[in-house]
Structure 1
Amino acid sequence: MAFKNSYLKKVYDDVAARNKGETEFLQAVGEVLESLEPVVEQNPDIIKTGVIDRIVEPERFIQFRVSWVDDAGNVRVNRGFRVQFNSAIGPYKGGLRLHPSVTGSVIKFLGFEQTFKNSLTGLPMGGGKGGSDFDPKGKSDAEVMRFCQSFMTELCKHIGADTDVPAGDIGVGAREIGYMYGQYKRLRNEFTGVLTGKGLTFGGSLGRTQATGYGLLYLTEEMLRCMKNDSVAGKTVVISGSGNVAIYATEKAQQLGAKVVALSDSDGYIHDPDGIKLDIVKDIKEVRRARIKEYVQSVPTATYTEGCTGIWSIPCDVALPCATQNELDGASADKLIQGGVTAVAEGANMPCTPEAVEKLQAAGILFAPAKAANAGGVAVSGLEMSQNSLRYGWTFEEVDSKLHDIMLGIFHAAYDASEKYGSAGNLVMGANIAGFLKVAEAMIAQGVAY
């Protein structure tokens, strides 16, 4: 990290010393601290409050053992995590990720990012994240249920509707949320909005499934409109991933008149020059939980390629990385630029490496960072919390309208902050600053706890 400000450099060096080897977390902290240089220069008194020193340290980090029994009767052991990063503006809020790549560093980076993402939504939510290195892929429903019940048996001690409200993330969909909520209710003997992403029959919100993907397109559309006097209509779009975010980003992009030509999973990617047939993808991924390569069996004109990075060599106007962190590197950014891309918006959490972001911005490509672009999921999770508190439910149209307004508000908050602090159009800097300022103001107002 190249810091011009000596104070911010010291903060980063201290974080690096305390969190050695936690590359994802250090990457996220470094990006935010670099963005805050103009804030510190214009407001040097902020140093005395210690708010930046405090905001990079989680309030609480919980690690625990998760023991469960597989269908063969074998005892299996995984690690569970929950980081309660910051509660200055509301109860901790953030998803649960079940994937072999989950480590303490990944959970801390996600919780740190979540703090500023939640701040940008304008809703009263703090930042948290959790999960396990358990892999639900290839497991039976019974095995997933037993794992989720064991996981929640420990997690329930640390969460609550006014304390910490988890949601879904990679590997955690409606099935997993249902099993976890059932176990929480069983153990605590209470029916509260302690999890979001619940089924519609027990407190879930219409629009939650679509929220992250739809929100990504709402922000991308507003970015194109305001910064290029353009729109998504008529554009060729490449989307990585084929999970919830990618599927509903595809759906909304198609509704807005774009042509989505590629999707991927961890094995490889499909390219359909005529436009992705979403009904086929939904059957493969949501119904049969199969691999994306099966798409070419139903669409012979499409092609499937092993490996994921080649997806960015497909010429496109808009690229939406929606798979996982650091999936789009500098070389991939070069391919996108050569292919004529004009806008990139992050649907996953931190899917672009720092080198990729630098190259895209240097080439004049519009770039929307994850903490702004993929905030739709947590925004509707916040709306689900509101509905649970009211013991009431809004229509899909009401939720979608609120989501649309929130995403436009996020874009303008980030853009306005980028202008105010001397980097007009740099949405990475703008989103970091706008998200930080609200949390920092609340932390300063609440004093220092010794």
Structure 2
Amino acid sequence: MNLFKKVGIFMADVEAYIKDLKETIIKRDPNQSEFQEAVFTVLESLKPVLEKHPEYIKTNILGSLVEPERVFQFRIPWQDDAGNYRINRGFRVQFNSAIGPYKGGLRLHPSVNLSIVKFLGFEQILKNSLTGLPIGGGKGGADFDPKGKSDLEIMRFCQSFMTELQKYIGPNLDVPAGDIGVGGREIGYLYGQYKRLNGSQSGILTGKGLEYGGSLARTEATGFGLIYFLDALIKDQKDSLKSKTIKISGAGNVAIYALQKAQENGAKVVTVSDSNGYIYDPNGIDLATVKQIKEVERGRIKEYADKISTAKYFEGSVWDLDIDYDIALPCATQNEINEDQAQLMVKNGVKYIAEGANMPSSTKAIKVYKDNQIIYGPAKAANAGGVAVSALEMSQNSERLSWNFEDVDHQLKGIMENIYKQISDADKEYDLGKDYQAGANIAGFEKVAKAMLAQGLV
């Protein structure tokens, strides 16, 4: 049955409306499992909002929200050091601009496909809304693997990627940033090519170097923001980070700076990991050693065990390590925690989990958290610090100013504390029982929905 006709018949029937939306998505995008998982989780959590606000059903706001405003897919030709011609596939999804220009990272990883980019872009809408800043949701990337590539190969790829991408972005239209596989080196090459083709536009990318329009605290933002959010959540439970034992996955910027800020707050972090395995150091991870290996030497995390005698290296997932601890901070990649690993968290006495990566917990893992009263801070709220400081970088570029580290960090802390307040308030308003995942979805959605209603059927 046609969705719009069905809405007219079943305006009060929230279940029928959600069911119809899901069927439409499955029919349109049958092979996009990551996108479906992200959207269906949000749709389920919005049921109490739809019951309270039937106008959202009448106007089919969710039907618009789950459909990107536009999607670009393109080929990226480049030449490797051996002279071979290589072809990769690039994407940019401009998902929703109701509250501001599209904002979201570029991911370079072999797993990148349209489903993953759409799932990330959809999550970005709600995440950006929670920051309170005027930025819409978008995401992009390519199925290119930067690992093992020379600097010249990375440069040639990035220049080819931007040659096509620059047709669709602009300082007041769509402002990409970094994500997995896109750090300062890649942003520099991308920015240089954009400038070469269009003239100087410092506001076209965020995560730039400080020498050409970047913001202090951007590198630290997601990791610091994760701990600011976690600290606000824990304090609201009449608890403290001090003396807590923490497992962290990952060893990139998010993990490293979450480790740093957690230690500053008196917690002990005992693990870090990369794609091959993980380090367990019962005395607490040494921050300086991790930074030396990952940021200076660009090495593998197993080298930590060669430098620190108390540490052990294991292959596999850090979430299979059977030790007692208090807090889990997944900061690696999507779906890194499965149902069995979540059950192990319960056995190990975990009280809190806050996500530094995008959608690192499977749907079944999240159910285990909730069934066992683990307080869960979802990615769209807990890891919003990166995009928040990216938006602050946009503001600095517009003003032709550079704020000091303390000013940016102070604003970041306030934004993350306010994100927790928004989801806590939504949790109380809709009597969700400390379901902060639903609270984040509702708080992010309501701002976007009101803006979409105000702007009409567009």
CA contact (8 A) 1:309 1:327 kept: no
Number of residue pairs aligned between Structure 1 and Structure 2:
446
In structure 2, C-alpha distance between the alignment counterparts of 1:381 and 1:167, rounded to whole Å: 7
**Gap regions ≥5 residues in structure 2:** 1-12
User: Could you report, residue by residue, the CA deviation over 1:292-349 in whole angstroms, capped at 9, with x for unpaired residues?
Assistant: 1111000122111111154453321010000000101110111111011110000000
Report the secondary structure of 1:135's partner residue.
coil
Distance 1:403 1:144 in 2: 31
Q: How do residues 240-259 of structure 1 correspond to structure 2 at under 5 angstroms?
A: 240-259=249-268
| Contact map agreement 2:128 2:135 (CA 8 A) in 1 | yes
| Structure 1 residues 437 and 310: CA distance shift in structure 2, 3 A | closer
Counterpart of 1:372 in structure 2 is 381
Q: Which residue of 1 aligns with 2:33?
A: 23
**Structure 2: which amino acid aligns with 1:256?**
N
Q: Given the alignment of the two structures, is residue 108 of structure 1 paired with residue 109 of structure 2, yes or no?
A: no
Residue 400 in 1 paired to residue 427 in 2? no
Partners of 2:14 and 2:51 within 8 A in 1: no
Provide the C-alpha distance between the structure 2 equivalents of 1:39 and 1:29, rounded to a whole number of angstroms: 16
User: Cα deviations across residues 325-380 of structure 1 (Å, max 9, x unaligned)?
Assistant: 01011101111110111100000000001111111111111100000000000000
SS at match of 2:239: coil
Q: What secondary structure sits across from 1:9 in the alignment?
A: helix
- 1:432 aligned to which of 441, 444, 452: 441
Matching residue within 81, 94, 106 for 1:96 = 106
TM alignment of 1:27-426, pairs within 5 A? 27-226=37-236, 228-426=237-435
2:9 alignment counterpart: none
Equivalence for 2:19:
9
Does structure 2 retain, via aligned residues, the 8 Å contact 1:312–1:336?
no
For residues 263-298 of structure 1, what are the alpha-carbon distances to aligned partners after superposition, in whole Å with 9 as ceiling and x for unaligned? Answer: 111111110000001111111111111111111000
Q: Match for 1:206: what amino acid?
A: L
What root-mean-square deviation, in Å, do the aligned CA atoms of Structure 1 and Structure 2 show?
A: 1.1
Give the TM-score normalised by the residue count of structure 2.
0.96
Q: Are the structure 2 counterparts of residues 154 and 247 from structure 1 closer, same or farther at C-alpha, using a change threshold of 3 Å? A: same
Q: Name the CA distance, whole Å, in 2 between partners of 1:4 and 1:315.
A: 42
Query: Could you tell me how far 1:4 is from its partner in structure 2?
Result: 6.9
Cα displacement (A) at 1:191: 2.5
Unaligned residue ranges in structure 1 (runs of 5+): none
AA partner of residue 286 (structure 2):
K
C-alpha change, 1:363 and 1:290, in structure 2 (3 Å) is same
Instruction: Measure, in 2, the Cα distance between the counterparts of 1:347 and 1:236.
Output: 17
- Distance in structure 2 (CA, Å) of the matches to 1:402 and 1:45: 35
Following superposition, the deviation at residue 190 of structure 1 comes to 2.7
**TM-score after normalising by structure 1:** 0.98
- Cα distance per residue 1:208-236 (max 9 Å; x no partner): 0000000000000110000x211111100
> SS at the partner of 2:204?
coil
**The residue matched to 1:17 in structure 2 has which SS?**
helix
Deviation of 1:243 (Å)? 0.8
Moved over 6 A (4+): none
Distance 2:310 2:406 in 1: 36
Contact 2:202 2:212 in 1 (8 A): no
